[in-house]
Structure 1
Amino acid sequence: MGSARLTLASSLRSSFPSVRGTLKADAPLAPLVWFKAGGTAQWLFEPRDIDDLSDFLSGLDPAIPVMALGLGSNLIVRDGGVPGVVVRLGKPFAKVERVDATTLRCGGGASGILVSSTARDAGIAGLEFLRSIPGTVGGFVRMNGGAYGRETCDILIECDVVLRSGERITLPLDALGYTYRHSTLPEGAVVVSALFRGVPGEPVAIQAEMDRIAAAREESQPLRSKTGGSTFKNPAGHKAWALVDEAGCRGLKLGGAQVSEKHTNFLLNLGEATSTDIEALGEEVRRRVREKSGIELEWEIQRVGLLADAADKEKIVGLQK
């Protein structure tokens, strides 16, 4: 199995740089992601602070891959697990501070709810949409996260990043190459903070907008389920959910996974789904949409790690063709 292939002898720990945070081998990732499915991280690192992260990465063998993990809301961790080091930013990276009348400095581990609430209390409007994105600042910056007509690129001034080499750099907005749900941040880079700017606003009006967004999400999305958020990107001129519905996929099941009947661009773990079930269901939806409309849906959910075995690989690859 993939998780067995990922297991390192504990003696290898001695070859890693020393850390002040926590470093765990073969750490389960399913409890840390919204789908509640998937394998282990070969190593899970939760740094104590930026120095801890920078020192660790600078001393880590460059051949070892590194991946940052936020709240795991838009992510499929494959059942074979994730090789290398998964970096998870905890409480030390979750601070949000007011810089001036319209600007907040937000830690890479801060949630969208915390950022939008802090902005409300400071009388800063324009960040309300972050209330609706179940992720962290690091994920927003990397993926140009957005909702309800706004995107991260609309509010970002700059971000502080620790590169895979351990080098710390500050990147302005125009260096991130933003497109729809995509940036050109280097692989292995970890966003440790971001500077967001809004406009002056009244806290009462800001709260009202946040309430409107929360109510809209509650009405249209399966928020009480094990899900991964929006599964596919909206193709130009189309809505992904409508294409999925037109292809007859509403409620479609595969193993323990199902296309939501409430919002067809959401996949659900009905309880015991494997990540292979979830990804294979997504590929079956893509196949049916392609067959029905000729449109190739692109995944918005990130899929990371290794498939558990050859049978799972054959299943996924077969559906992709």
Structure 2
Amino acid sequence: MRGVPPTVLRVLVCGALFVLPSCGWGAPSAEQGERLPAAPLGVTAAAGSATSIHVMWNLAAEDPPVTHYAVYRGNTVVDEVPGSEHMVDVTRLEPSTAYVFTVRARNAAGALGPASKRVRATTPAAVAADRTPPTRPGGPHGKAVGSRAVQLSWTRSTDKGGVASYDVYQGTSKIHSVGGAQTATVVTGLRPGTAYAFTVRARDAADNTSPASDTVRLTTAPGSDDGRGTAPSAFRATTHRADGAYYIDLAWIAPEVDGVISEYQIHLDGHAATSLVWGGNPPHGTATHSFYVGREAGVAHRVRLRAKLPDGTWGGFSAERSVTTGS
């Protein structure tokens, strides 16, 4: 890959990192005809009870837009939801059983795109004759993160068989579930300048649901903002030289969001330069990436990046860093 400019498609198969140009990526050619939707990214699955599993994925920012998502258990379609939704509870499952799920996007013509990566989840064992719900989650609180997201947290519920999951409600609608060991989440994809009321309920393996927590009332910031709270943090940029060429080395920590971050966009000197798509599981903690910038020493560059959020929108930009080749 020596001397490959950032405008050329690069695929690192073994590392499961796909680096694509931001200009024209994904656009169909005349010979291709109508473009199929891409495989959904960021798919996760977690048991909600002994008989249900919560499947979630990132919304696609496609043009034309995705009209539906089909959720598969093995080779069987178990649910199909509108293109504006990115989660579903798969119910009527067997306790103590491992399941495999994939998600496919459907366009307005009814054509299905390729399947997402396969994700696995195992339902917990059923608790015989358990009709006692968990205690209500306590101490819920939260804060708005800019105009399109909120952070929520609560204290643990108790249950004789253990809490299997926590369900987050917006008004009377369940909008998300997290595992029983988790007591915080970030809800994205909200509307600017809007008041919301959130509650949390605990669920055990027997599908008993606790009373709702106290209500957390939050209002998102008005208008569009700079994505505060959705930007990558601890962003660093350095340079190195290899085989007569210079590369910029990046490191950052993904923003905390309601789902999985699978795609980033790098801006170089004020312009979109490269898109990164993690083909496998994104790294935990600090992520790193290097890209070619030329063979001349003493060239100054400005670089920053942003993440594509699970709701299909772009998050805020990281801090901008300045580097000079050969320094």
TM norm structure 2: 0.26
Q: Identify, as 1 or 2, the structure richer in strand.
A: 2
Bigger Rg over Cα: 2
Q: Identify, as 1 or 2, the structure richer in helix.
A: 1
TM norm structure 1: 0.27
